[in-house]
Structures are given as C-alpha cells and as structure tokens.
Structure 1
Amino acid sequence: MKKSDFQLYISGAAKLGVSFGVVSLLSRWVTGNTILSSPETLITYGLIGGIGYSFMGALSIILFGFLAKIIRKQFSEQQTIGDILREKLSPSGYWFMLTIIFITSFHSLFVQAVGAATLIHLIFPIPTFVGMMVFLGFCYIIGGIGGIDRLHQLAGINVTLIFAAVIVIPVYFFIQEGIYPVFDGIKLYHPYLLYIKNQEAILFIFTALLVFVGQVLLDRATWQRIFMIQKEKVRMTFTLTGVVWATIPLALSSLLMIVLFGRGFDNIYSLFFELVDKIQSTVLIILFVLFCFSAISSAISAELHATTSLFIKNAMDLFRPLSNNEKWKYTYWFAGTVCVILLFISSLLAPSPLKLLFFIGNIYAAIISPMLYIIFSKCKLPFIVPFSSFIGAVSGYVFMPITEDLKAIWISFAISSFICLSTLVFHIISKHIRNKL
C-alpha cells in the first residue's frame, strides 16, 4: 500500500462478495467477549442462557442486515459511520454522537484486551504485562498500521482456526467420552444448568438482544464493512454471518460442559485452563490456544483500525484538512497511544467481560432509537435526537441501585425511545400546521 493512498487504509481496493464479506464480519464479531462470556453465561443462566445468548447475538446481526441494505442504498459514497452522522446531524449533535462512539470504541477495545490478558494469565507461565506487550504489538502492526487490506489477508486464517477448534475439539471429546456420560455427569453435579424455567435467564436473553442490537448499530468496523461489500449482496452477507456466528458460542458451551461433567470448579475462568489440561493432545492444545488469540487479535485489530479511521477522517480532518502524509503520521501515533493505554489498563484490571458488556448496556440500549431515527430520517435532525441517548442512559444508571441491572437497561431504552417518538410526533404536527398555513 502506498502512503499516498490513505483511502485504501480505510476501505481497501476491492468490493467484497458474500463469502469474503462473511469472513470479514466473523473476524470482527468472534471476540474475546464471545469466548469468555460463554462460561459465565452458562454458569449463571444455565444451558438455556447459553443457547439464548447465541441466538440473540445472531439475530442482532441478521436484523442489522436489513438496515445495512437501506444504509448502502442511501449512502453509497460514504466510508464510515461518522460520514452519515455528519450528513444527518447538526454540528453539536454530530460531535456529541462522535463522543459516544469513541467511548464505546475504547470500551470495546478494553473488553477485548481484558479477554487477552485473562487467557495469557491462565494459559502461559509468563508475566501478563510481557504477554500483553507482544500481543498488542502484533495488533498494532496489523490493525493500526496495516489497514483493511492487511486485516483481510489474515481474516481467512483467523476464521479457519476458529472453526477448526470449535469443530475438531468437541468431536474429539465426545468420541472419547460419549454424549450420555457427559449429560449424566452434568445432571448429577450441575443440575441447575439444565433448568429451563429460569425467569432470570429469560430476562437475560431478551436484554442481551437489546444490548447486541445497540452494539451492532454503533459498531465502527461493521459500518465500514457495509460500504466494502457489494451493494446487492449486503443483506445476504449479514444473514449468513449471523447464522454462522450462532454456532461459535454453542460450540464453546459444549466444550465447557465437557470440562464440567463429573466434577465441580473453583473459578469460572479456570474452566479454560482445565480444558487445556484435559485435552492432553499437543496438537489440539496448540489449536485451542491459536483459536483464542486469533479471535481476540482479529477483533482488537478490526476495532483499532475502525477507531483510528474514524478519528483521522471524521475528527482531526474536520479541524484542519490533512495531507496524506499527515494522516499516516497521526494514524501511527493515535493507534500506538491506544495500544499503550490498553497495555497498562488490562495489566492492572481484570473485571468480568459479561459485566463489562452489560454495564455499558444502558448506552447501547439507549442508542437504538436515536440511531434508527438517524438512518430513516430524510433531513437534518435536532440535537435532542442524539441527546436522548444520553438522557436514557443516565436514567438507567440512576435507577440501577433500586432495580436489577437488566431492568435498568430496559428503562434506558424506553426513555430514549419515548423522547425520539415525541420528537417525531412534534415534527409531523409542526409540518402539518405549516402546510395548512
């Protein structure tokens, strides 16, 4: 890639077909959160929670595919989510939304880095800081410097490793142990995993759909891929991606049930270490480790690339038009700074990935209605539309101490939706009155 071609850093040189579009999206959405949330979901909400988590994540990607077709038709010349927001919002609304996007971007990167740090701590006998320095250095070279073409060169390898692990390892174990012994062991030692009338699990499943939809609607890398995929193949690509993605958490849940049957456990995340210990086959251990770090590195690299592209194109370039050489220089500095921050934070903190996802779930839920309003609107929108997401999210956090975390997410969604609906009704009535006059 020539340094004079900075646009190629953002969107690449060629449009993607269905097959490679699916590969590109999967390399973004099979993440550390997918890997580490699976055991927590399974243990907390049982088998029905694990299945629901898989299907709701898949459904959110499939539903976004219908929107992606509309987005691609209306904004065929754009490259990032920031380009659409700038066209549809007032300057104050635009900068507010850009701030929200950067907050969620850094949150997403932090979640992936925590996942990598946790796995390094569990699997490798080296200091976490050293492991993360090597890992984030690799992500910086691929996503921060390499651009979208470099990401696409590795996407096929990443997806191949992912499916090799989630297919070969469970088959290996079930051939060795048999299906019925595993089921009987779970029934004896962990019968709560098979309880299907868990009301909390039902609430979790539908709340997960809300959070996933908001996350996809605001995801920078996913929006970039909308404009990379051939226009007539956008919806099919997202549909197939959702269907394929659903198999990953299900396969991970089956792996964990292999570890759980016939025994207890001390720590949720130690299950992965016990899985490595239980595999025994050197080839399969290497495959599992490569799967974990391939999934997390591809997700971090994609997010780092998308966040850097957004910052250079939709923030810095608006203050002062940049030359191509300046864009490259600031790309190196911005991506490098983000990686250094992630290195220190992830080495010091190790919160639960599932709790991290649902802690910011109020923002994702509150952003759904404003983003839908922005996508379907035909004119510039007032500041209250994007700001409704802030009101909704803050309201959810206010109610959090007196209600459950999951219910607070629904409060955020309801309040922002009410404000957007009220704004829409007011706009329709005002337009009707002006036409009569």
Structure 2
Amino acid sequence: MKKKSFDFYIQGAVQLGIAFGVVSILSRWITGNTILSSPETLIRYGLIGGIGYAFMGGLALILFGFIARKIAYTFSGRMTIGDVLKEKLSPFGYWYMMALLLIMGVYSLFIQVMGAGLLLYMLFPVPLAVGMVLFLTLLYLVGGIGGLYRIHQLAGITVILIFGTIILIPVYSYMQQGVTVIFEGIQLYHPYLLFTKNQESLWFIFTGLLVFSGQMLTDRATWQRVFIIKKEKVKMAFVLTGLIWFTIPIAITSLFLLAISGRTFENTYSLIFELVSILESNALIFVFILFCFAAILSAASSEMHSLNSLFIRNVAGELKKLSIEQQFKYKNIFSFALIASLFLAALYLTPYPLQLLFFFGNIYSSMIFAILYIVFSKGRETLAPVLSSFIGIVAGFASYPFTTYFESVWISFLLSGIVCSFFIIKKTIQRRFRQSLNLEDKPYDAK
C-alpha cells in the first residue's frame, strides 16, 4: 500500500498479528478516563468499585472479541464501521447512524482532551493554555497528520510505559512501606473503602458493563483495528487485551490506596497530586507523569485518526468523489477545526471523569442491540436498528426526571432490545410462513 494514499493513512502498511494487535488495542483503550476515573470510583464506590471498573472494561473487551471475529470474516476487506453501515443500511439509516457515530466520536475525543487538561492543571505550574497548546499540537501531528503508521509507533512506547508504571511503581512503593502498614492506614482513615456490601457498587458495575460494551460496539477506532488484525487472530487479540486491561485499573487503584493510606485528602482530584508527592524517587515521578500523558495522547490520537477516516471516507466521500489531494486537504481542515474546538472547550469547561464516562450512557446502551442486529442479520436491514436505537435513546433521556441515571441506562437497553426482538420474531414467522407455502405448492409425489 502506497504511503501517499489515503488508504495507507487509514490502515497503515501491514496486517497485524496477535502481539502487535494487542498493543494497538491497548493503546486505544488505556485512556484518560482509565486514569482519572480510578480515584473517583475508589472514593465513591469503595474497593469493590475499583475492582469492578477493571472487571467491566476487561469483560467488555473479551466479549467484543467474539463479535470481532464475526465482523472480520463477514466484512472482509472493509476499512471502517462506515463501510459496513453503507453495505447493510438504506441511505436514511446510514446517515442516521453516521450522525450518531460522529457525535460520539467528537465526545470521546473531548473526554481525552479534558483528561489531559485536568492533569496539566494539577501537575504542572504553567498556564493551562500553554500546556494545552503543546498537547493539542502533538495530537494534531500524530493523529491528524501521521495516521495509523505514526499511532503504532507511539503505541509501542506507550505500552512499555504502561507496564513500567503498573509493575514498577506499585512493587517499589509497597515494598518500601509494607502492605500491612498501608492496609492499617486505610482501615484507620478510610474504613468505608473496605465495605463490601454496597449495593450501589454492584449497580455501578453492571451498568458500567453495558456502557463499556456499547462504547466498544460503536467505537470507530476499535472497528478499524478489527480490519487491520489478521482475521484468524482477531478474537484472541481482543481476549488477551481484555485480560491484560483488567490488571491496569487495579494497579492504578492500588496506587491511589497507597496515596491515601494514613492521611486525609481534600477531594478526588487531589489524589493524583498526593500520589506524586509520596513517590520518593524523581525517576518514578517522571515515569508516572510520562505514562499519564502517553496513554492519553495515544488514545486521543486513535480517536482523531478514526474520526478523520470516517469523515473523509464515509461522509465527504459519499457526498462528492474526492481525489487523493482533496482527501488529505479536507482531512487536515477537519483536524484543525476539531483541535480549535477542543482547545476552547478545555479552557472553559471543568468536567468530572465519571460524569464524562456515563454522560452518553443511554446512547451507548441503546446501540448495543442495533449494532448486533446489523452484524448478525442478513441482507439490508434498516428499520430494526434505527428504530430500536432511536426509541431506546429517547426513552432513556425522557426517564431522567423519574429515575436514577443507572435505571435510565437500563431502560434504554431493554427497550431497544425489545424492539429488535420484535423484528427478529417477525422475520422468523415470515420465513417459516414462506417455507410452508413453498411446501404446499410442490406437486404430490405418488411414490
């Protein structure tokens, strides 16, 4: 594949095996939310919530691996989720889904940039605008200009930093202070974290599993990785990634347990500053900070790259036939517009990580059955996925004044599932009815 072609920008040069497939998926899914949500999850839902956060992300990746195998074999040769939607939906359904995917993509990129902004604000004594200009410039160069080839170059470094952080820092810190001393400090100052009979934690875990599953089923970058990993190895790549990903939030949670052992804290954001302050080695502090920004930059670059690919190939390319020069020109303009919007948002908004994670939970949960219907159904099926996702989204948001947030996510999920089930039953009845008519029309054989 030529480096100057837009296909090279989307897919890189070669198909990936299991090892580098895992690296590529990890670099997408170890995000700013993985880092910033861990302290808030720990404080709000206790140790069970911290472990549950790891469980729901890891399990969602493993389950997606089985769906990814079906996608890879059924839609071989595609490049984006938009290619699949184009094949399976009518024009109305296609543009409806594309609008939702673009909105969710911009929102996902917004989450990563907000995470970078929060870390810059907490860890460095420089104006936020200066730090954001530097981060967004790197984001533009890697995700906007570089393409998947550059993202994979960054992915290898990111994964090395990830394992250096989750192995080196906890082992060093716990050996220095002692596990018993740390546990007793938590038991004395924060005994509520060890409370195991917290029903709200279970509610959070199972609802979070729905949200994570919906995110992965609709994630533009994840679908692109399905198409660049060898199809006979794609399932194993996602399963192994899920098992590895499970360890990372647990390791990060253990670091925050270390930070609050034997001391109080002001708020959840201050836990990151507390963690940095107790690391006695400047080398460990440098590794932790580098890990945070490498993980966020890698995830944000993957999202920007997938948004560019989807917009140019499946939006602009559907509206007008583009030359290679026009594809790159429009891609650069689109990237710059995203960067400018994200810069302004980072300066004026102060988000909360868990709120960001679950803000679009109704949309994610409503899309689960819709995407599964598209993947597993035969022929062009528009009404079922469009109607089920639309009803689920509207019902979920409409239920906000009368239910809790978690309940509204489940309402979206169940209603969309009921609508999809209705269409499946209807198709089954119609197929059997046609089969019975065909049998009746056959001439009777006297033998």
Residue equivalent to 2:278: 278
Any conservation in 2 of the 1:25–1:222 contact (CA below 8 Å)?
Answer: yes
Computing the radius of gyration from Cα coordinates, the structure with the larger value is 2
CA deviation string 1:322-370 (max 9, x = no partner): 0001001011111111111111101111111211111211111010001
- Please state how far the C-alpha of 1:429 moved relative to its aligned partner: 2.4
Residue equivalent to 1:209: 209
Give the 5 Å matches for 1:332-343.
332-343=332-343
Give the 5 Å matches for 1:28-427.
28-427=28-427
- Please state how far the C-alpha of 1:3 moved relative to its aligned partner: 6.3
CA distance, structure 2, for counterparts of residue 98 and residue 17 of structure 1 = 29
CA distance, structure 1, for counterparts of residue 167 and residue 261 of structure 2 = 19
Residue equivalent to 1:428: 428
Any conservation in 1 of the 2:387–2:419 contact (CA below 8 Å)?
Answer: no
- Please state how far the C-alpha of 1:385 moved relative to its aligned partner: 2.0
CA distance, structure 1, for counterparts of residue 4 and residue 121 of structure 2 = 41
Residue equivalent to 1:10: 10
Number of aligned residue pairs: give it: 437
Any conservation in 2 of the 1:56–1:212 contact (CA below 8 Å)?
Answer: yes
Q: Please, which runs of 5 or more residues in structure 2 have no aligned partner? A: 438-447
CA distance, structure 1, for counterparts of residue 240 and residue 273 of structure 2 = 32
CA distance, structure 1, for counterparts of residue 357 and residue 107 of structure 2 = 9
Q: Please, which runs of 5 or more residues in structure 1 have no aligned partner? A: none
- Please state how far the C-alpha of 1:2 moved relative to its aligned partner: 6.0
Structure 1 SS opposite 2:258: helix
- Calculate the aligned-residue CA RMSD, in Å: 1.2
Any conservation in 1 of the 2:93–2:382 contact (CA below 8 Å)?
Answer: yes
Any conservation in 2 of the 1:3–1:328 contact (CA below 8 Å)?
Answer: no
CA deviation string 1:144-179 (max 9, x = no partner): 100101111111101101111111111121111100
Any conservation in 2 of the 1:187–1:194 contact (CA below 8 Å)?
Answer: yes
CA distance, structure 2, for counterparts of residue 385 and residue 81 of structure 1 = 15
Any conservation in 2 of the 1:62–1:239 contact (CA below 8 Å)?
Answer: yes
TM-score normalized with structure 2 length: 0.96
Structure 1 SS opposite 2:267: coil
CA deviation string 1:175-211 (max 9, x = no partner): 1110001101111111111111100001111111111
CA distance, structure 1, for counterparts of residue 333 and residue 432 of structure 2 = 51
Alpha carbons of structure 1 residues 435 and 2: separation in structure 2 relative to 1, 3 Å: closer
- Please state how far the C-alpha of 1:384 moved relative to its aligned partner: 4.2
- Please state how far the C-alpha of 1:256 moved relative to its aligned partner: 0.2
The AA in structure 2 aligned to 1:22 is: V
- Please state how far the C-alpha of 1:432 moved relative to its aligned partner: 3.4
Q: Does residue 19 of the first structure (1) align with residue 13 of the second (2)?
A: no
CA distance, structure 2, for counterparts of residue 425 and residue 392 of structure 1 = 19
CA distance, structure 1, for counterparts of residue 382 and residue 295 of structure 2 = 40
Any conservation in 2 of the 1:215–1:364 contact (CA below 8 Å)?
Answer: yes
CA deviation string 1:51-97 (max 9, x = no partner): 01101100000000001111111111101000001101111001000
Structure 1 SS opposite 2:232: helix
CA distance, structure 2, for counterparts of residue 188 and residue 394 of structure 1 = 46
The AA in structure 2 aligned to 1:73 is: Y
Residue equivalent to 2:443: none
CA distance, structure 2, for counterparts of residue 429 and residue 16 of structure 1 = 42
Any conservation in 2 of the 1:92–1:383 contact (CA below 8 Å)?
Answer: no
Structure 1 range deviating more: 98-107 or 277-286: 277-286
- Please state how far the C-alpha of 1:410 moved relative to its aligned partner: 0.3
- Please state how far the C-alpha of 1:389 moved relative to its aligned partner: 1.0
- Please state how far the C-alpha of 1:431 moved relative to its aligned partner: 3.4
Structure 1 SS opposite 2:77: coil
CA distance, structure 2, for counterparts of residue 214 and residue 345 of structure 1 = 25
- Please state how far the C-alpha of 1:280 moved relative to its aligned partner: 3.0
Any conservation in 2 of the 1:362–1:393 contact (CA below 8 Å)?
Answer: yes
TM-score normalized with structure 1 length: 0.98
Identity %: 53
Structure 1 range deviating more: 382-391 or 333-342: 382-391
